[in-house]
Structure formats: structure tokens, C-alpha cells
Structure 1
């Protein structure tokens, strides 16, 4: 696994302590200056019901993965965002917060590859990467994805020596095609799970900033995998009762309500005895940007 792949960890699941910490890093560490004290990091994870020992293990894990670096300031132990991780987080911004639903007439990307048997591990790695990026399977060595995935796919095919074709127009009827290429039942399930879990929260938003921080991190941690499972599949190819639009609307509503108080709470808590600059209006508006 390359250093970049280890850092990005596209297969990471939501809900674990390390996943929650990764979400904290992506969601609030940049807006508050890119540094948090060790005590402040443990305090932020405590708001997510993560014990201190588990939080420290997760911090060590993200340092080993090249996401954080240990960086004391004025004698205070702490952690800073590794500059090499910024491009990864910015790519995540585009996927997580972008509006990428493909139009019915949009073209598609095709990725073609063939590996000899002695390179079957690389074949498996590429299949795993393509699935994680949101591609579907046409055939064993032929994968498909919306044209919006081109920049991410181009990077992967260069790494693995595959072929990328951009501008394909499926000859098959789109609804029949998507049902073959993608696990639509699985994608529906992640949308519906998000709606079931967080729709009630939208009607009784927390007033306490600590609770707003905890809810926002959990919302974002669960949402962040959905745009990779559903890369903006066109409506014409989906069932009429598809829940994707509803889950996107719910995420946007919760973001509007929770993001600013969550970043404000993080700025106060992450200091842990070391003064931090307050978040700017611009950074709170776009928390996943430097």
C-alpha cells in the first residue's frame, strides 16, 4: 500500500474511535488553526463518549497513517495536521460537500484492466479502490462510473497501469444498466439508515454546544461514506422512490444548524491550556477547507 493510500484509507468504516477522530480532524481541526493540545484532543473525543485511553490510541494511529504529527507548542503536548494530508482532506471536501448528481444525458468513465495471475493481489487492490471511489462493475476487468469521477480515476489508473476511457454513453437503457452495475439495494440501505438515524435529530436540535459538536461529528462521520457509495447516480436510472435526495437534504439541514456551534466548541476545547485563534467566518462556513 502506498503512503497516500494508507493516509486516505478509503475503506475506513464509520463509527470507530479512529473514524470519529479522522472526522474531527477533517471537520474542525483546520478551521481552528490546524493544532490541538493532547488534553484538548482527549476532551473532544470525550464529548463523543470515547475513553481517554482509546482516544490516545486513535491519535497514535492517525500519526502512524500520516494524518497527524506530534507537535508541542510552548511546552504543551499536542497534535498538528500533517501538511501532506491536506490534499486528501480537500478531495474529501469535494466528494462530501459537493453536489454531484449526474444528469441523465451525462457521459461515463470506463476503466479497463487485465493482470496476469501472479499479480492477482494488484488486481484485487484496484478492484477495491474502484469500488471505494464509487464505480460499478460491467465485467470482471471493466468498471464504470459517472464522468465526475474522472480526476480520482485518472490517479488510480496511473498507479495501477489500467486504461481510462472518458465520454462513454451506455447503449443499454439506463435503469437496467444501473441495476446490473451497482448494488442499488445496498446504496438504498445507507441512505435510509442515515435518514432513520438522524431525521429525528433535525426536529430537536441540541442547544448545548458540546452536544451540537457531538451530533455534528456523528452526522458527518456517517454521511462521509455515502457519497462514495452513491457517486451521484442519475435519477433516470433509479427507482422512483429513491431516498438519495431526502438524505442529501437532511445532511444539508443538519450542517446549517450544527456546523458553526460545533466548530466554536472545538476551538474552545482543543486549546487544553494553550490559546488558539478563534475560527473565522469563512472557515466556519467551509470547515473542510484550509
Structure 2
């Protein structure tokens, strides 16, 4: 698995979890305060904000108090809004739902875009059926279209909906199209990191009903554990695009990792928001989005 919890990744996760539900802009001092709780130092926050600004993900925008701050760009908001449909959903796909196919051709004179296109399709969770032919579950069509249009790659791609008719059984074909052992390993890594955290919080909730996770150090601990879990989890629905269970090997760990994240979200997201409210007086986040099926 790629390195987890880089400062840049945590800043994006923070904006995704809470930043869209404040006034929209956070001062660097506020980011430093919020990221310190997960072990990121001030110089790393400042340098990461500069990089995110250069990449077009953050834009300068005054905070509600009139101080200098940074907000998500329109493109970054679209990216995170699309991501919500994966991160906070727990779908039960069926093989009969079909596939979205991306067939692309890039002129040799623009071959650098070929690499970008392949990288973005892989990042969206597409598998490779053949050179220039990629596919994913059909429900990912809208997000795929948004992504290709945002990156100005749409002129090189044709999108289709379809079903697999053979000749190999679809489960065998899926095992060729995706690296299923590598995806399973990512789920197992997530469980190794965060299932013990869930057990600790559930034990606390069982032995101390009504424990004050919404104030003081309890709120900070909830915020820290939730932000780290979300930062780990938000990659997984892209590596694993939600393939139908009947096409996956027995004992697939994806369902269990989704349940662990869903339970952490249920337990910790709103207590974590209390910590954010304390760090951003008068403009903390609104009530949380819910998990969907």
C-alpha cells in the first residue's frame, strides 16, 4: 500500500470531512491547529498548502473573519463530491448491473496524455480488458465523465455501457482485469490498522455509556481516530471499485473493511466535529452526511 497519512493527504481529507461544511475557507493557522492533532507540524502544513495551491486544489479566499485563508477550488469540490458517493456508500452491486467501458486512442504526438489517461482510469478503479480498453462497474459512469472532462481528456475517449457475454466466465475474466490479491491486501491493511481502534471505541461505549467523546480530550481523540481512518479508507473504494460479490474470491475482506469504516464513521464523525467546532469558534461544521447503501 502507498504511504499513508502524508500532510497533503491529511489536508485533503480534512477539507473533505469538515472543510466543506464550514464557511468554506480555512486560515493556515487553523489548519496548523487541526493538523497538529494528527501529528503534522506547522512547516509541513505550510509547504503542503503551497503545493495544493499550485496543483489547483486550493485557492486563496478570505475566511468569514476576513483573514487570509484557503478554500477548495471548484474542481476540487467536484472531485470530493464525486468521492462522497464512493466513500460514504456501501453498495451491493450485481453482475447484472453491467459495465462502463472506456475505449481510448491518443495520437503519438500527444503521447504524454496517454499516461495521464491510463493513470486516471486506474485511479478511478478501472480494470484493463485489453490495450486501450478499460472497464468498471456501470454506476461509475458519472464520476468517470466528470473526471475526464475536468482533465480535458474527454476528446480521446469513447464511453460505452455493456455486459460481458463470454467467452470465459465473468469471474475468471474479472481476475484478469483487476489485481484482486493486491486489492484484498489493501483491505487487510486497513483492517489491521483500524479494526483495533474500532474495538477500543466500542469497548469504551459499552463500559462507559454516554462517555464524553463530544468534549475535551475525548473529542480530540475521536477527531484524530476518525480523520486517520478516513484518510486510509478514502483510497480503498478507488482501488476496489465495488465489484459484485459473486465475481470475487471466497472470504473477500472488502465487506468487513467497509463495515469497520462505517461503524467508525457512525461513532466518531460527529464527536470529531465537536473538536473542529472548538478550533473554529462560531463556524464549525454542520451535521454529518450519513452512510448510504
Contact 1:13 1:19 in 2 (8 A): no
Q: Which residue of 2 aligns with 1:240?
A: 250
Maintained 8 Å contact 1:132/1:228: yes
Deviation digits for residues 240-285 of structure 1 (CA, Å, limit 9, x no counterpart): 110010000001000001100111111211x3xxx433433xx324
From 168, 189, 198, the equivalent of 2:194 is: 198
State the distance in 2 between where 1:65 and 1:114 align: 26
- Distance in 2 (alpha carbons) for counterparts of 1:267 and 1:66: 27
Q: 1:163 aligns with which of 137, 158, 170?
A: 158
1:219 deviates by: 0.4
| RMSD over equivalenced CA pairs, Å | 2.2
Pair 63,118 (structure 1): closer, same or farther in 2 beyond 3 Å: closer
Provide the residue aligned with 2:235 in structure 1. 225
Q: Deviations over 1:58-82 (max 9, x none)?
A: 1222222333333345454433333
In the other structure, the counterpart of 2:123 is 132
Offset of residue 122 of structure 1: 1.9
Whether 1:178 aligns to 2:174 is: yes
- Unpaired segments of 5 or more residues in structure 1? 1-11
Q: TM-score, normalised by structure 1?
A: 0.85
Per-residue CA shift, 1:23-75, capped at 9, x if unaligned? 00110112233233332211111101111111111122222233333334545
TM-score, length-normalised on structure 2? Answer: 0.84
Per mean C-alpha deviation after superposition, the further-off stretch among 239-248 and 54-63 is: 54-63
Number of residue equivalences: 270
**2:59 is paired with a residue of what secondary structure?**
strand
Counterpart CA distance in 1 for 2:35 and 2:83 is 21
Residue 222 (structure 2) aligns with? 212
CA distance in 2, matches of 1:256, 1:189: 25
Please tell me whether the aligned partners of residues 153 and 164 of structure 1 are also in contact (alpha carbons under 8 angstroms): no
Q: 1:150 aligns with which of 120, 141, 161?
A: 141
Match of 2:69 in 1: 78
Do 1:100 and 1:231's aligned partners in 2 also have CA atoms closer than 8 Å? no
Alignment correspondent of 1:5:
none
Kept in 2: contact 1:110–1:142 (CA 8 A): yes
SS of equivalent residue, structure 1 residue 200:
helix
In the alignment, which residue of structure 1 is the partner of 2:208?
A: none
With 201-210 and 154-163 compared, the bigger mean Cα shift is at 154-163
Describe the shift of the 1:75–1:141 C-alpha distance in structure 2 as closer, same or farther (beyond 3 A): closer
Distance apart, 1:154 and its partner CA: 3.2
Where do 4+ consecutive residues of structure 1 move more than 6 Å? none
